[in-house]
Amino acid sequence: MGLITTESMRAPGPQSTTTRPVERILGVVEGRRPGKTVIAFGGLHGNEPAGLEAVRSVLAQLQRPGTDLAGKLVGVAGNLQAIAADQRFLARDLNRGWTAESCRRIVTPHADECPEDREQRELLELIRPLEAESRDPLVILDLHSTSGPAAPFSIIPDVARNRQLALSLPIPTLLGLEEILEGAMFGYLCSRGHMGVGVEGGQHSDPETAARLEAVVWLSMVATGNLPADRVPDLPGQRERLRRAASTLPPAVRIVHRHEIDDDDDFQMEPGFDNFTPVRRGQLLARDRHGPVRAALDGLVMLPRYQGQGNDGFFLGTKVTRRWLMLSATARRSRMERLLALWPGLHWDASDPNTLRYGGTEPPSAMLRTLRLLGYHGVRAKPPGLEFFRRPP
């Protein structure tokens, strides 16, 4: 195999992050056969070393002869300055601000830019040529970890090419969250036609987290056809590692409610909630200056906010059945969304085929269910009504 290597020649392990600065390109391994370009990102948040470790480990093992790799794997470190400081970010979250407009602006350096503007520009400069030289969509693996102990799960913009990859991993897939979190890097790249998964592997400091994220990279390389299954070191073991960590969880969860908070809300989550904790409608979830915050529906808590940053208090999701997944795949293949504009009050945005406007503020639940089935998980106020949107399929 043709190899171009940089950092991946080093022994993998946490010591390499502390003894010398992390380089942007963790390594590139290129196979002899044509195939997809997989870009594995670690450390988009600087205090999440497990993703970096996972990527380094896979790159090092792919150096060995006889791996029969197709296409290439590029390992990329996210927020270098925040990684050096062991902080989530310095001035702003590098996993926000990835809109077409800000990416256009950021490519030109300017005097009052923040450290993350530079990081984002360097990432864009790295992605653009890979994008230009690849005939297929790029495959993006965006690897993360969390401050508290957590089961692994993936987050995808709900389009067919991502679903296939996400559902091949034996961990739950979260649908409808990525559409809400505007400006995430992977969502931006997905809008440009690329595919992949974002993965939360578990707690930052738990060695198991890096092992799980490594399993995600191996299994994804098989799912995309970049590696034959029998060339992955202990593939059944990798699969089992993920399955074990998520054995009690549903295959997919769709976000149906977001509790947004203001900085002065004094929001306090009640203790004891975790990702996927089932709750009943009316159950006390949190308190803020207005009083108790209760669950709006029966469902599962996702991303409860116990510390610090961001304006999402928590999300509520519902379990997605295999049948729903099949139904929605069929509905999308047969382009059922063409019928949506027949719904009273609903009409297409003139300039964007992936956006629909609704004249009122309380859409019937049947309409919401149908919109979600067709991938329109995103919703925002557009006075006097609402706007529903999805990622380009």
Residue 144 or residue 332: which is nearer to Zn ion going by CB? Answer: 144
- Per CB under 5 A, which of residues 48..107 are in contact with Zn ion? 48
Comparing C-alpha atoms, which of 117, 108, 125 is closest to residue 90? 117
SS3 141: strand
Q: How far is residue 309's CA from residue 312's CA, in Å, rounded to a whole number?
A: 9
Shortest reach from residue 118's CB to Zn ion, in Å: 19
Residue 150 or residue 249: which is nearer to Zn ion going by CB? Answer: 150
Comparing C-alpha atoms, which of 320, 329, 35 is closest to residue 164? 329
Q: How far is residue 45's CA from residue 228's CA, in Å, rounded to a whole number?
A: 31
Q: Which region among 37-45, 125-133, 254-262, 320-328 touches Zn ion (by CB under 5 A)?
A: 37-45
Q: Which region among 42-50, 104-112, 115-123, 369-377 touches Zn ion (by CB under 5 A)?
A: 42-50
Residue 225 neighbours by CB under 8 Å, 6+ apart: 35, 36, 70
Shortest reach from residue 309's CB to Zn ion, in Å: 11
Q: Which region among 16-24, 137-145, 162-170, 191-199 touches Zn ion (by CB under 5 A)?
A: 137-145
Q: Which region among 139-147, 250-258, 279-287, 363-371 touches Zn ion (by CB under 5 A)?
A: 139-147
Shortest reach from residue 339's CB to Zn ion, in Å: 38
Task: Show the tokens assigned to 101.
Answer: 């407009």
Q: How far is residue 115's CA from residue 297's CA, in Å, rounded to a whole number?
A: 41
Residue 45 or residue 163: which is nearer to Zn ion going by CB? Answer: 45
Shortest reach from residue 48's CB to Zn ion, in Å: 5
> Which residue of 10, 36, 45, 390 would you call a contact of Zn ion, by CB under 5 A?
45
Q: Identify the burial level of 98 via C-beta atoms within 10 angstroms of its C-beta, where 0-12 means exposed, 13-18 middle and 19 or more buried.
A: buried
Say if residues 48 and 64 touch (Cβ distance below 8 Å): no
Shortest reach from residue 369's CB to Zn ion, in Å: 31
> Which residue of 56, 144, 194, 241 would you call a contact of Zn ion, by CB under 5 A?
144
Number of residues that bind Zn ion (CB under 5 A): 3
Q: Does residue 204 interact with Zn ion by CB under 5 A?
A: no
Shortest reach from residue 244's CB to Zn ion, in Å: 23
Shortest reach from residue 146's CB to Zn ion, in Å: 7
Q: How far is residue 189's CA from residue 247's CA, in Å, rounded to a whole number?
A: 30
Residue 48 or residue 53: which is nearer to Zn ion going by CB? Answer: 48
Strand partners of residue 196:
140
Strand partners of residue 287:
268, 292
Residue 62 or residue 143: which is nearer to Zn ion going by CB? Answer: 143
Q: Provide φ and ψ at 214, rounded to 5°.
A: -65, -40
Task: Show the tokens assigned to 88.
Answer: 């989530």
Instruction: Provide the binding-site residues for Zn ion, judged by CB under 5 A.
Output: 45, 48, 144
